[in-house]
Amino acid sequence: MKTILVVGNGMVGYKFCEKFVAKEESKQFKLVVFGEEPRPAYDRVHLSEFFENQDAKALEMAPAEWYAENGIELIVDERVADIHRTNKTITTAKDREFSYDYLVLATGSSAFVPPIKGVEKEGVFVYRTIEDLEGMLAYAAKLKAKNPNAKAAVLGGGLLGLEAGKAVMDMGLEPHIVEFAPKLMPRQLDSRSSQVLQLKLESIGLNIHLSKATNQILGDDGYITGMEFGEDDVLDVEMLVVSAGIRPRDELGRSSGLEVGVRGGIVVDNKMLTSDNNIYAIGEIALYNQMIYGLVAPGYDMAGVAVDQILGHTETLMPAEIDMSTKLKLIGVDVASFGEPFMPAAKGHSIIFENKTQHLYKRINVSLDGKELLGGILVGDASDYSMLHQIYLNGMAIPEDASQLILPASEGGSAFGSALDLPDEAQICSCENVTKGEICNSIKDGTCEDLAGVIGCTKASTSCGGCKPMVTDLVNETLKSLGKTVKNVICEHFEYSRQELYIIIKTKKLTSFNEVLDTCGTGHGCETCKPLVSSIFASLYNVTPNVEDVTQDTNDKFLANIQRNGTYSVVPRIAGGEITPQDLIVLGKIGSKYNLYTKITGGARIDFFGAELNDLPAIWKELIDAGFESGHAYGKSLRTVKSCVGSTWCRYGLDESISFAIELENRYKGLRSPHKLKGGVSGCIRECAEARGKDFGVIAVEGGWNLYVGGNGGATPKHAKLLAEQIDNETVIKYLDRYLMYYIQTAAPLMRTAAWLDKLEGGIEELKKVVIEDSLNINAELEQQMAFLIDAYECEWKQAIENEETKKRFNHFVNSDDRDDNLVFVPLRDQKMPKHWEAKRKKAEEVL
């Protein structure tokens, strides 16, 4: 049996294993993989997601057991230190020796740190491994504890630098990007698109410094305190992330005398063979065409070539041309470039569309005869990237007036035609190398019947995910072409949209989940349709979650938001944010009695965290006895109507915003809707209540109130749109009743008002017609339905604690009064917090 040793268990090293075990012939080989990092290969491309959940496991390419199950010996935390080519062995840093028949080098790259004076100071990081990120998080937390306004810089304004910039911003540090070149993403963008991108990035809070050469890193005591560019040109920062390019980890190649490039990298041919016939190099270590390709897709191709070469399929070779198209991900700004982004005028013409006010830039490069797409750049809106990229890759025909490819869509749809026009060989998922033919055929031949199935069996869109929209299109189009209807159905149990189900339940007067399932569904329901049906019941009949608690989402079921350790939060309603000192004292007493972590929320009320399930009824009994009621912080229902102090106190106030906010909050409290609802009332256009960032916002102006609708914060912030001007209190309420009810009846599940308004054909103008002019002749019914719901309001916590039966669900055990003994809290400032998952897991593992 022959032995293959793979050095490096990164993304490409892993891909080699995956492709290798998929081949029948692999059984005749023994495969041993060495990784220097302490864990099996993980998805470096999505490294930034680690900031969100600090869940290293979620990034794993495959768990350690996968290697064992596939007969691969995985040795992590052990660096390969030397190669002895003459006797075909390697030794590791732990001085163990292994011999090989074939050696595959997949050692990747490390971050390049330029030799700037002071760069070794504490607080300077690179952005490459999970350990780097852990270091940054810990350091940022320390900084912020000392100085909440701490600043951090990223050295390098390329693809990775911008991602790192977003990451430090999300850590709560003031982000600065420092770039040596006069433009951002110099490898992908031209100067004009870079300027547009800069405007866009500045608008989301990134500070950009171009044409800056860093002379030294400042700081006494070994900590970074700033960067110096020139005399008197200094940027004060307390943390720095260096993202100035990559350097191939070619030390093994150099010490063993393999041919390496002048600027690093192990030279390979199109078989991925190095200058030694038994040694291959793949991924970011391989210098192919005198290039290091810093992307996963070419690395994955290289892995495939090396597997085939070793197994004797010598006809598989690396193509000469490698597609370097890229789409920036994660930072909430669309940027993409493909083909030849910068094209010399001699080769063709460029068509450019630029709109700086909307941060939009689109450029395509077309051959001189106008027939071929050669490349392009998209900033601000890259929704057409997949299609343009395909046209480029497959040399497809383009419209006579090529500008149609980038001009904002006119009436009658897009210039692209359908995704089905692509040739079968078109590579749709470049990460996993899946063609259009494979995707469509998997449906045509019956192997798969929906998107999930196709993704499962072809692996398309499982890596970077950039191709997901196109895969979805292809699946839907193929299903359509087979005469199968593609519907926005709720889930496998209901062949209806939410709106359709709403109407069915309403007309048939259905009142329990099982009734609905038996009338128009199949199977036994799931976590998607159960809460949806419950929400429809609530919107139709205003029944509280106490009535059918087993079909409620967990937060509704226990009338409290579940926290990451399985405890709950408690939020009493504090309408308009107004609270008496006496009530504050009551809250203080309850909070300390039950030892609850307490904070003021962004919704201007008080939130208690860390309540154990068993304690919820007792806590709420005390609150209700003191005159409080549920704040519905857990429901898809009205949360708060935030208010400024208004003319009650404020010298600028034009009307009593607090009184009106309290009236509105009390009017709509308990109202269940497709997603949560928030309101705001400001006393003047200074807008201290941020009313225009809410689902409905009311602002006092001379002569009445302006009413805004369809705003939100959250992941895609939207300012609310003006529905009516200078109207009085009664008219505000009348329009609001209609608007909210119309939304509740027609929106998709979990769709906020902003997204709903976006989708509503005709937008705000259409809404004005419906709500103000009654163009659909439904207002009387909408108002009636709202009046019924308001009338049916009952505090559901009061209901829950007054009924011994419903109270039972708050016991942790059915057969004991004990509590969950697995809860662990740690102190935090003068309060407490749950122990972190990772820490908990580690602790549990140490015990073993």
Ligand X SMILES: Cc1cc2nc3c(=O)[nH]c(=O)nc-3n(C[C@H](O)[C@H](O)[C@H](O)COP(=O)(O)OP(=O)(O)OC[C@H]3O[C@@H](n4cnc5c(N)ncnc54)[C@H](O)[C@@H]3O)c2cc1C
Task: Tell whether residue 81 is a contact of ligand SF4 (CB under 6 A).
Answer: no
Residue 532 interacts with ligand X (CB under 6 A): yes or no: no
79 binds ligand X (CB under 6 A): yes
Angle at 546 between CA 541 and CA 549, to 5 degrees: 105
- Stated as kind and residue range, the H or E segment containing 470 is helix 468-481
List the 348-355 sheet strands across, edge first: 326-328, 335-339, 373-379, 360-367, 348-355
Q: Residue 607 binds what, of ligand FES, ligand SRM, ligand X, none (CB under 5 to 8 Å, by partner type)?
A: ligand SRM
Nearer to ligand SF4, 287 or 720 (CB): 720
The pattern of x and - marking residues 606 through 625 that bind ligand FES according to CB under 6 A reads: --------------------
**328, amino acid identity:** L
For other proteins, the closer of residues 381 and 556 by Cβ is 556
Contact between 601 and ligand SRM per CB under 6 A: yes
- Closest to other proteins by CB, 325 vs 806, is 806
CA distances from residue 439 to 327, 384, 391, 442, 455 in whole angstroms, order as listed? 22, 20, 18, 5, 9
- Distance in Å, CB of 736 to ligand SF4, minimum: 20
Residue type for position 255 = S
Residue 264 within binding range of ligand X, rule CB under 6 A: no
Site string (105-134) toward ligand X, x via CB under 6 A: -xxxx-----------------xx------
User: Nearest residue to ligand X, using CB?
Assistant: 10
- 644 near ligand SF4 (CB under 6 A): yes
Residue 109 CA to residue 253 CA, distance in Å, equals 13
In the bound state with ligand X, the residue whose beta carbon lies nearer, of 329 and 692, is: 329
Residue 731, token pair as written in the block: 């008219």
Backbone angles phi, psi at 707, to 5 degrees: -110, 125
- E strand intervals along 165-312: 174-178, 207-209, 216-218, 226-230, 233-236, 239-242, 246-248, 266-267, 279-281, 286-287
> Binding ligand SF4 by CB under 6 A: which of 113, 234, 520, 650?
650
Among 160, 429, 443, 570, binds ligand FES (CB under 6 A): 429
Written as six digits, the tokens of 838 are 């990772």
Q: Residue 637, interface with ligand SRM (CB under 6 A)?
A: no
SS3 assignment, position 23:
coil
Query: Which 3-state string (H, E, C) describes 678-731?
Result: EEEEECCCCCCCCHHHCCEEEEEECCEEEEEECCECCCCCECCEEEEEEECHHH
Identify the residue among 222, 230, 602, 762 touching ligand SRM (CB under 6 A).
602
Residue nearest to ligand SRM (CB): 714
- Per-residue binding letters, 204-243, with ligand SF4 (x by CB under 6 A): ----------------------------------------
Q: Choose the one of ligand FES, ligand SF4, ligand X, none that binds residue 460, judging by a C-beta under 5 to 8 angstroms depending on kind.
A: ligand FES
Three-state secondary structure of 639-669: EEEEECCHHHCCCCCCCCHHHHHHHHHHHHC
- Cβ pair 65, 31 in contact under 8 A: no
Q: Which of residues 641-680 bind ligand SRM (CB under 6 A)?
A: 642, 676, 678
- Closer residue to other proteins in complex, CB, 66/180: 66
638 binds, among ligand X, ligand SRM, other proteins, none (CB under 5 to 8 A by kind): none
Distance CA 97, CA 613 (A): 56
37 binds ligand X per the rule CB under 6 A: yes
Using CA of residue 515, residue 519, residue 520, residue 524, what is the dihedral sign? positive
Of 223, 216, 214, 287, give the one whose Cα is nearest residue 250.
287
From 295, 364, 443, 698, residue interacting with ligand X (rule: CB under 6 A): 295
CB of 653 to ligand SF4, least distance (A): 3
Gap between the Cα atoms of 794 and 784, Å rounded: 18
Q: Which is nearer to ligand SF4, 688 or 747 (CB)?
A: 688
Give strand ranges (E) for 123-263: 124-126, 151-155, 174-178, 207-209, 216-218, 226-230, 233-236, 239-242, 246-248
Site for ligand SRM in 723-762 (CB under 6 A): 752
Around Cβ 236, how many Cβ atoms within 10 Å? 13
Interacting residue ranges for ligand FES, rule: CB under 6 A: 429-432, 460-467
Residues that bind ligand SF4 (CB under 6 A): 644-646, 650, 652-653, 657, 682-684, 686-688
Which positions touch ligand X (CB under 6 A)? 7-13, 34-37, 44-45, 47, 79-80, 106-109, 127-128, 160, 163, 249, 252, 283-284, 294-297, 299, 329, 464
